[in-house]
């Protein structure tokens, strides 16, 4: 018997015993080491996704861990292999899949939302979802490969090029990762963020950060770009004001990449889209190449994800960690250590699970 963190109802999580599911044909059983809590997990916690999430539901999709057992027909994987999971299961029958866009399958199973996630001590998933990790990459850092893959996909969707001027509106974990990936692509980047704590972290990472309350961001962009405006803006804040800022900073034929989830319709200055021939691009999830590039960027230190980890808590303290994240600004990323539990004292070596 193992433990799992479950969503029970709005603002209610528990840690409960969960049966370990043996891997069937084409499946692999994993021992999750670290699982990150993301914004989508918080939406679930608030009860905003009850129409989609069937309680009790095991949460978590940002993870790292090791293979414990492999099912029939699985090749190339063995116990002890370090992995992360691309948590997508598509049907390969819908029009999106037929067009080659399996990551946004029209009947997508997002593992950790639509089906049981990683915040448990044993987790069985399709072998096809595994992404290999280098043995030199610490597993706590590897838990941030998934959000880094989001950033890689976003920067690719916006077609960011070397030398371009990029504004990232929203300096949370994904916003900072987008800024760092864009910088690694050769772009010049500015971050717009309300939280002083997050602006300080951005500055410590070598990024310039502006406060939208005290700073006239569109004017700063005009000065920075020699009146031209930004080439690309990423809207990562999820706020109406963030949308307005992202549109206002763009120059002629600029690209706005929408990353944040906006739960309600927003007013958008369409006249500016007409006047400057702007482009709006949506960005959702990732594909395998995004994950593989993210592994490289994290493993070689190009993206110093360890700077985003605010705290690591044992699995039994995960419910309290969700509440801590609601405060927002002073916390970036909290990881749940699934290799230990304070109730039983059971411990797996996060770097090498006994199998």
Rounded CA gap, 142 and 131, in Å?
Answer: 11
- Cα torsion 282, 88, 62, 38 to 10°: value is 40
Other beta carbons within 10 Å of 193: 28
CB < 8 Å & 24+ apart, contacts of 74-80: 74/23, 74/26, 74/27, 74/28, 74/127, 77/28, 77/127, 77/130, 79/355, 80/352, 80/353, 80/355
Please state, in angstroms and as integers, the Cα–Cα distance from residue 93 to each residue in 37, 90, 101, 106, 285, following that order. Answer: 31, 8, 11, 9, 19
Tokens 């031209």 locate to 228
At 303 the three-state DSSP class reads coil
Packed helices 196-204 and 173-184: angle between N→C axes, nearest 10 degrees: 20
Measuring CA to CA, which residue among 348, 322, 342, 346 is closest to residue 334? 322
Cα–Cα distance, 314 to 208 (Å, whole number): 34
- Non-local CB neighbours of 288 within 8 Å, separated by 6+ positions: 86, 131
Residues acting as catalytic residues? 40, 43
197 in Cβ contact with 250 (< 8 Å): no
């Amino acid at each position: 018997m193992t433990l799992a963190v479950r969503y029970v109802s709005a603002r209610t999580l528990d840690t409960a015993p969960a049966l370990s599911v043996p891997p069937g044909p084409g499946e692999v059983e994993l021992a999750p080491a670290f699982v990150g809590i993301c914004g989508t997990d918080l939406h679930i916690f608030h009860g905003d996704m009850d129409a989609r999430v069937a309680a009790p539901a095991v949460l978590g999709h940002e993870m790292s861990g090791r293979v414990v057992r492999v099912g029939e027909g699985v090749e190339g994987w063995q116990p002890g292999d370090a992995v992360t999971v691309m948590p997508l299961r598509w049907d390969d029958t819908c029009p999106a899949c037929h067009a080659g866009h399996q990551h946004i399958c029209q009947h997508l199973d997002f593992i950790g939302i639509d089906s049981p996630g990683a915040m448990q001590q044993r987790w069985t998933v399709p072998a096809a979802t595994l992404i290999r990790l280098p043995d030199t990459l610490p597993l706590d850092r590897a838990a941030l490969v998934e959000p880094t893959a989001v950033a890689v996909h976003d920067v690719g969707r916006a077609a960011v090029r070397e030398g371009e001027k990029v504004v990232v509106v929203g300096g949370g974990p994904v916003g900072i990762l987008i800024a760092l990936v864009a910088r690694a692509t050769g772009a010049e980047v500015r971050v717009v963020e309300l939280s002083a704590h997050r602006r300080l972290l951005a500055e410590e990472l070598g990024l310039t950060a502006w406060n939208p309350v005290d700073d006239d961001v569109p004017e700063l962009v005009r000065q920075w770009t020699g009146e031209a405006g930004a080439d690309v803006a990423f809207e990562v804040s999820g706020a109406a004001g963030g949308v307005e800022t992202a549109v206002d900073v763009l120059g002629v034929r600029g690209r706005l990449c929408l990353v944040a989830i906006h739960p309600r319709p927003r007013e958008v200055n369409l006249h500016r889209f007409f006047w400057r021939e702007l482009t709006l691009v949506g960005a959702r999830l990732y594909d395998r190449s995004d994950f593989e590039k993210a592994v490289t960027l994290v493993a070689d230190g190009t993206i110093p994800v360890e700077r985003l980890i605010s705290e690591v808590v044992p699995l039994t303290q995960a419910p309290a960690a969700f509440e801590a994240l609601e405060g927002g600004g002073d916390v970036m990323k909290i990881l749940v250590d699934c290799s230990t539990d304070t109730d039983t004292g059971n411990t797996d070596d996060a770097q090498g699970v006994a199998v």
